[in-house]
Chains A and B, each alone.
Chain A
């Protein structure tokens, strides 16, 4: 009686053991597959964030600016003509700022513009214009203003260039969405397959639980918790590898042609994958268990 009383008091601090038998299922290969999917997903997320940021940056810079080529006429010096143009443009409604470009920034552009506009005489100067959001004057309005001030100038409005960039960004976004859907489908399929394998391995336990009165949700929770844990761990390994790889890429500065430059902040996007993987694992396991139990009496 004393022994039983001791045992009873000991049970007050009792923590129940997991109901599913440990190591009964063989899901090692599926775990490896989930790691591979996680690596791809994390690289894709990091790449998509970097591309999105680059597109926004380019679009923003082009969408809010123009470059004006000013040529001196008569006895006026090129610098004086550029200064007058800067003053005229700066006074216009919708212009946030106008400033003459220094030689380093101007030379490559001048070379291109001279090639386009070789008929005009005089040494050209470049004036950059930044617009206010939503109130920007058109290129024609800038040209009219400069002409009214007696300046020989041509306006290179960057805004028309933004549409192909935005189209390319939208296409990249669409591609990323398709890849994301494929990755999510692959991760779901792996998690569901692993759960079905677990259900088969733990069939006796599941059957006993059902006959003892376990609701579908109770049994489902046992499996989705395991699936979420497996997916999260695979996600941590996959995302960790992706972050290390892209960090090395960022450190050594190597990038394929046309690839956007990675920012350190872009790498953090990969860290969100394990959480997403856990969610996918839990949902896929829930479906698999529900489908399995639906057929049981």
Chain B
């Protein structure tokens, strides 16, 4: 089974003229104007970008702005063609359902089974169980957890937990996947497996923004970047990111 066989955002969604995400001269909270460069970048539909920079430079804060958990100190963040400053509470909930989130710490619900964890977002979206259950089972099988659907997450290895988090993020067919430290704490083999899955998700048409925690992904020499100052937060195309051996 491949990610391409799983229904992903349709061609109509991909045909967005507007970028999925756009930052216009954004300053993160906690940064004083003038001290940090104002961040501007756009993510066209289907693009794959990577946030790089040292720990504490604001990678997670950028993801928080996109998933509407925070507001910028300055500048504007546009999501699905709307200025996020103009969104009401209902809009925020609706927009969040169009975003797949992989948290730095898995944040799995330990009292639920692997399957119930993966089914969280379609369930929240109000879809009937008979509609989403086969799809969730399919995506769990795709990430290699097809035989572990009825066990609690505590029984999974770190790599499996991360893949479950990925399955949960993708279960409602989001338009964009935000992955915060998706390979953090994993051994090379498990990390590579997760990265390959993310790559295939992007290959199927989902826009991806990833904030790796380590140096596995670093800007290749000569890579274009949204904030090109050394030691600062940078947004680069995944094609410009070098996978450290």
Q: Is the CB of A21 within 8 A of B96?
A: no
Tell me the nearest residue of chain A to B168, going by C-beta: A212
Binds A, one of B36-44, B115-123, B197-205, B221-229: B115-123
Q: Is the CB of B124 within 8 A of A214?
A: yes
Taking A19-B109, A211-B67 as contacts, is the C-beta distance between A12 and B130 under 8 angstroms? Answer: yes
Tally B residues with Cβ within 8 Å of A.
43
Q: Is the CB of A8 within 8 A of B101?
A: no
Tell me the nearest residue of chain B to A1, going by C-beta: B1
Q: How far is B96's CA from A209's CA once the two chains are assembled, in angstroms? A: 10
**Which residues of chain A are within 8 angstroms of B94 by Cβ–Cβ distance?**
213
Q: Is the CB of A8 within 8 A of B137?
A: yes
CB distance from A256 to the nearest CB of B (A): 51
**Which residues of chain A are within 8 angstroms of B138 by Cβ–Cβ distance?**
4, 8
Tell me the nearest residue of chain A to B121, going by C-beta: A212
**Which residues of chain B are within 8 angstroms of A205 by Cβ–Cβ distance?**
109
Q: Is the CB of B109 within 8 A of A15?
A: no
Q: How far is B71's CA from A90's CA once the two chains are assembled, in angstroms? A: 87
Taking A16-B119, A209-B124, A212-B101 as contacts, is the C-beta distance between A204 and B96 under 8 angstroms? Answer: no
Counting chain A CB atoms within 10 Å of each CB, the highest count among B110, B121, B134 belongs to: B134
Report A204-229 CB contacts with B as 1/0, cut-off 8 Å.
Answer: 11001111111110100000000000
Q: Is the CB of B129 within 8 A of A213?
A: no
Q: How far is B94's CA from A16's CA once the two chains are assembled, in angstroms? A: 22
Within residues 1 to 45 of chain A, which ones have a CB less than 8 A from any CB in chain B?
A: 1, 3-4, 7-8, 11-12, 14-17, 19, 21-22
- Pick the contact of A212: B70, B116, B120, B130 (CB < 8 A): B120
Q: Is the CB of B107 within 8 A of A204?
A: yes
**Which residues of chain B are within 8 angstroms of A11 by Cβ–Cβ distance?**
115, 133-134, 136-137, 149
Q: How far is B70's CA from A208's CA once the two chains are assembled, in angstroms? A: 15
The total of interchain contacts (Cβ-Cβ below 8 angstroms) comes to: 91
- Pick the contact of A4: B90, B121, B123, B137 (CB < 8 A): B137
B86 within 8 A of A: no
Report B89-116 CB contacts with A as 1/0, cut-off 8 Å.
Answer: 1100111111101000001011111011
Q: Is the CB of A297 within 8 A of B111?
A: no
Q: How far is B135's CA from A4's CA once the two chains are assembled, in angstroms? A: 11
- Pick the contact of A213: B97, B116, B137 (CB < 8 A): B97
User: Known contacts A4-B141, A16-B129, A297-B68; can you find 7 more A-B pairs with CB under 8 A?
Assistant: A7-B141, A12-B134, A21-B111, A208-B109, A210-B93, A213-B124, A218-B126
Taking A211-B96, A297-B71 as contacts, is the C-beta distance between A17 and B121 under 8 angstroms? Answer: no
B230 within 8 A of A: no
CB distance from B23 to the nearest CB of A (A): 18
Q: List 21 A-B contacts (CB under 8 A).
A: A4-B138, A4-B141, A7-B146, A12-B133, A14-B115, A15-B129, A16-B119, A17-B112, A21-B109, A209-B120, A211-B67, A211-B96, A211-B101, A212-B101, A213-B96, A213-B97, A213-B124, A215-B93, A216-B93, A218-B124, A297-B69
CB distance from B194 to the nearest CB of A (A): 20
**Which residues of chain B are within 8 angstroms of A204 by Cβ–Cβ distance?**
107
Q: Is the CB of A7 within 8 A of B149?
A: yes
Q: Is the CB of A8 within 8 A of B134?
A: yes
**Which residues of chain A are within 8 angstroms of B95 by Cβ–Cβ distance?**
213
B125 within 8 A of A: yes
Q: How far is B95's CA from A215's CA once the two chains are assembled, in angstroms? A: 11
**Which residues of chain B are within 8 angstroms of A7 by Cβ–Cβ distance?**
137, 141, 146-147, 149
**Which residues of chain A are within 8 angstroms of B125 by Cβ–Cβ distance?**
213
CB distance from A3 to the nearest CB of B (A): 6
- Pick the contact of B90: A1, A19, A215, A297 (CB < 8 A): A215
Q: How far is B121's CA from A213's CA once the two chains are assembled, in angstroms? A: 7
**Which residues of chain B are within 8 angstroms of A12 by Cβ–Cβ distance?**
130, 133-134
Tell me the nearest residue of chain B to A209, going by C-beta: B124
Taking A15-B129, A16-B123 as contacts, is the C-beta distance between A214 and B93 under 8 angstroms? Answer: yes
**Which residues of chain B are within 8 angstroms of A16 by Cβ–Cβ distance?**
116, 119, 123, 129
Q: How far is B109's CA from A212's CA once the two chains are assembled, in angstroms? A: 13
- Pick the contact of A3: B1, B67, B107, B146 (CB < 8 A): B146
Q: Is the CB of B96 within 8 A of A4?
A: no
**Which residues of chain B are within 8 angstroms of A17 by Cβ–Cβ distance?**
111-113, 116
